[in-house]
Structure 1
Amino acid sequence: MDNIQDTIQGMSALDLVKSAELFAKSKHAGQFRADNITPYSKHLEDVVNRLKSLGVIDEEILCAGWLHDIMNTTETSFDDLHAQFESEIAVLVSSLSKDKSLPRKKREQAYVIQLKESSFNAKLIKLCDISASLSDLKNYEASKSKKIREVKQVRHYLSVIKNDLLSNHNYPKIQALLESANLIFVRYGQRGISLLAKS
């Protein structure tokens, strides 16, 4: 762990994304996805790869892609992130993190509002997170009802952010990610979300 920290601290600004990757991998070490086989870092890599496939080259967004789950699933705090990375990255990750101090139901309600009010960059990362999670569903050993619950939840998140995503024409491949999400929603008995942006 100390070696990783030393490596991160010795990196130049040009290696910001690599330092975020190393930091995330060290914090998520020993964690697995729901199949209890796939290392958690594989999900993070899938999210970042989706961001890149959309044409994202902004270092802050790519860093936040590696770090987007770090406050939800590790003991890493906002202050830890702020000390390690730029404030913009810490704020972006924070806007994608649930408030663990709230009871579960209120936490979800607050998170939906938070997503709705978050920046376009945060919504872009959330789209890639949802897309990666939906692709992972086939590997879960969970019951169909549990999978359906998860699909309903991420469908709700996506319905909250999709207008802003569709209104931005800098990333035309967003449509393809939304269409593939809709195919999975239908497979689990859910309606696809409308791909028309409301003005």
Structure 2
Amino acid sequence: MYKTMMAFTAGLLNVGTNAFAQNHAQLPAQAPIQTGNPLAELRPIHLPPEPSNWPAPGWYLLAFLIVALLVFIVWYWRRHKQSQSYLKHQQTKSALRELALFPQENKADYIRQCNALLKRVAIANYPAENPAQLSEEQWLQFLSQHCKSLDHQVFTLLKQGPYLPDDKLQASNIEPLTLGCQHWLSHHHEVAHA
């Protein structure tokens, strides 16, 4: 039994030695140590590529957004101005229609209605100037100030009409007042905002 055991142990040792020899043979050989300049063996420095003359894509996106914003602002502003112009035009047409519907038989009532219509339009368009509190000469100056092409003498009937006796009022010509009201209603926007 001793012999079998020795044979077995010798076989194991043989297998172990062969395995060690095979593993040791597979290891790479170590480079020999050199005593020269170690910096000479370094590879040269790789520089990054030259920067492009074109800006980064984000700048193109920013430029596009700025142009788009400017286009939108111009479009919105023009649309807003057109809508305001349309509203003023509609207001003018409505006021002129209302003026045409006033009965002219009773001249005192006609003068009051013309005055009330002009006040309403003035209050709607010039609230900061407080035209509701203006009367007589101040009111006539306000009307002529906002329509330079019209002489304020046209509106003297607005100032004097309520105080004239009926016979003088009925004898007076209200056609210049009517034309003056029509002209003021049509043109007060042009002069005030020019």
Per the normalisation by structure 2, the TM-score is 0.22
Larger radius of gyration: 2
More helix by share: 2
